[in-house]
Structure 1
Amino acid sequence: MSGDSHLPKALQGLRIPAVASPLFIISVPALVIAQCKAGIIGSFPALNAREGEGDHPLLDTWLTQIREELDRHNQENPDRPAAPFAVNQIVHRSNTRLERDIELCHKHKVPVWITSLGARKEVNDAAHDCGGIALHDIINNFFAKKAIEKGADGLIAVAAGAGGHAGPQSPLALISEIREWFDGPLLLSGSIGTGASLLAAQAMGADLGYIGSPFIATEEANAVQGYKDMIVDSGADDIVYSSLFTGVWGNYLKGSVENAGMDPDNLPMGSVKDMDFGGDKEKPKAWKTIWGSGQGIGAVKEVGPVSQLVDRLEREYIAAWERLQDRMK
């Protein structure tokens, strides 16, 4: 990708300007490795790596696996090296594993750190100390400024339509307000399911797109077949925005809510007090199959390998750029 020399090295030279967002449960080493080999930054939540009591930390095992596989790929393919990978840290106070996971990511010199649900200076410092960069996801301009004050290198603007925990603001408004004062790395999350929407994100001021839901319907994703099929069969009208399931507003597939015996059009409100990332709090049984998704899944027509999805995004991105150039002649 040209025109990215202003970005930190970890965000330069990608095949297309895209970072695969960390998906709860779904993002595992196989998915991350495939994303990186395809030329975009792959990521996973540290909390996805959960080991049994007394077992060796699974996060350590995963990081070793990812690094070794990407190193092997780069040695065998010097002309098309893999993109870097990222690890998402939930910095909410209920995450009792945070300190341990920070130490493991520092040990493995993770190149890109993504923080969510709170800006913490010590996490950014740890990323910088091992040569990494820190990106923080935010839903409004207020939190964006707080993140940069705490030492984040870049921002992920989570706008309306994004999968999982999503903000209510239009991406046009959110990106515009942030760009009034911040000229550093800026990613946009929210319904980016095509190469054309990736180009649109850049046109409005973002450097890269943050893509999640389309990767659920890939062969490498750790999702049940029913979840993948529902992504393929659904569109923007099939998404419900609710705070019930985690205490934070997010987007979910209506079909999964209905399958759990609830009315997606009449869900009660959740409370931020319900947020818990400690791992020892079980969700109500009916909520275990509530599936998150963003509004951009109308572009997903089939389940296939990650490489095929990235191929499509690249074709669409180039075609959109060519159309735009033709209109500007």
Structure 2
Amino acid sequence: MLPPILSNLRVPVVAAPMFIVSGPDLVIAQCKAGIVGSFPALNARERDGEPPLLDAWLTRIQEELDRHNQANPDNPAAPFAVNQIVHRSNARLERDIEICHRHRVPIWITSLGARPEVNAAAHDCGGIALHDVINATFARKALEKGADGLIAVAAGAGGHAGPQSPFALVQEIRGFFDGPLLLSGAIATGRAVLAAQAMGADLAYVGSPFIATEEANAVTDYKRMIVESGAEDIVYTPVFTGIAGNYLKPSIRSAGMDPDALDASHGEGMDFGKSAGKAKAWSQIWGSGQGIGAVREVVPAAALVERLAREYAQARQALLER
């Protein structure tokens, strides 16, 4: 059974946190539209000597969602989530945990490692902790360390995706875990959301389609490339960060490289320290999942959620009629 905080969404979708792309504008729009909006804590990057931008972002998100709820008591906003990168190079982790704890963030998403103290902080402020995994081994470790739910990141997902089929990954996790399970991997339509549930997941984890929204913090060329590309335009490689992920081939070509002849020995190591925001891999090489063939125009986030909800309802009805 899903916890109450995940049970009353307009459509069973959690918007995935995307590096650089996800910020307050997008999160607020997603939540107002009825799905969980999220962003990586590391996206809130202030200059040296300035107060923590994460603090300001959380204040703005909470205040705007509170105003929406007061004005729309019959149509409240969905909750939001903050993604913590639990990696040894993230020197900000302890500070960001304290800020999220103080703001009583309702949903914590952890990536690239599982730490009991992060889960404990989430629980202490009344939140839940979801951890993303690419295989059953990592799933078991995350649960042992106190995660409340899992995000199965399958083949075709944007960012640091796993290599396993969603059928295999969900099937194996459901063999030992009956708690909250989200599925990530090329989900860009309401029909795909329903398919994720048919496989055994509770919710879909949707990222790349939201790059092509008005509120996304992405340059115009990135949004255009999402609209114009399809699954064949994605390459899966560890070259840019040291961990295998999915990237847009046209952006790799624009950076002067051949996406079909990448040399993994020249890859950069994973680094979420101060220099991460300037890394060539993230500023010029654009990530994307394989589901973007369903994205045909740049729209407001609310319009994308409306499409997903409509397609989801139509797909359910079509199956019932069969």
State the TM-score, normalizing by the size of structure 2: 0.98
Partner of 1:220: 215
Distance 1:320 1:59 in 2: 39
Q: CA deviation at 1:288?
A: 2.4
The 10-residue stretch of structure 1 (270-279 or 255-264) with the greater mean CA deviation from structure 2? 270-279
Aligned counterpart, 1:138 = 133
Provide the residue aligned with 1:31 in structure 2. 26
CA offset digits 1:264-301 (Å, max 9, x no partner): 00111158981110122575647621000000000001
Aligned equivalents of 1:299, 1:156: Cα separation in 2: 22
Count residues in correspondence: 322
Aligned-residue RMSD, C-alpha: 1.3
Task: Report the counterpart of residue 275 of structure 1 in structure 2.
Answer: 270
Superposition map of 1:251-266 within 5 A: 251-266=246-261
Q: Which residue identity does 2:35 align to in structure 1?
A: I
2:241, 2:281 within 8 Å by CA — same for their partners in 1? no
Shift of 1:9: 1.6
Q: Contact 2:240 / 2:281 at 8 angstroms: preserved in 1?
A: no
The residue aligned with 2:206 is 211
Q: Which amino acid aligns with 2:139?
A: A
Distance 1:282 1:206 in 2: 33
Picking from 10, 15, 21, the partner of 1:15 is 10
Q: Deviations over 1:138-176 (max 9, x none)?
A: 000000000000000000000000001000000000000
Q: 1:108 to 1:284 in 2, by over 3 A?
A: closer
Paired AA for residue 301 in structure 1: R
Query: 2-side partners of 1:270 and 1:226: how far apart?
Result: 29
Q: What amino acid does structure 2 have at the position aligned with 1:61?
A: A
Structure 1 unaligned spans of 5+: 1-5
2:109, 2:223 → 1: CA distance?
A: 25
Deviation at 1:39, TM superposition (A): 0.1
- Match for residue 37 of structure 2? 42
Q: Work out which of the residue numbers 146, 160, 183 in structure 2 matches 1:188.
A: 183
2:104 is paired with a residue of what secondary structure? coil
Who is 2:159 aligned against? 164
Distance 2:16 2:156 in 1: 14
Q: Deviations over 1:3-37 (max 9, x none)?
A: xxx21121110000000000100101000000000
> Cα deviation per residue 1:108-133 (whole Å; 9 max; x = unaligned)?
00000000000000000000000000
- Where 2:147 maps in the other structure, the secondary structure is coil
Distance in 1 (CA, whole Å) between partners of 2:178 and 2:69 is 32
Runs of at least 5 residues in structure 2 that lack an aligned partner in the other structure: none
Please report the TM-score for the alignment, with normalisation by the length of structure 1.
0.96
Cα shift readout 1:46-101 (whole Å, capped 9, x = no counterpart): 00000011101000000000000000000000000000000000000100000000
Between stretches 270-279 and 230-239, larger displacement belongs to 270-279
Percent of aligned pairs sharing the same letter? 72
**Does the 8 Å CA contact 1:243/1:270 hold for their aligned counterparts?**
no
* Separation (CA, whole Å) in 1 of partners of 2:271 and 2:13: 30
CA contact (8 A) 1:139 1:159 kept: yes
Q: What does residue 3 of structure 1 align with?
A: none
- 8 A Cα contact 1:89 1:116, kept in partner: yes
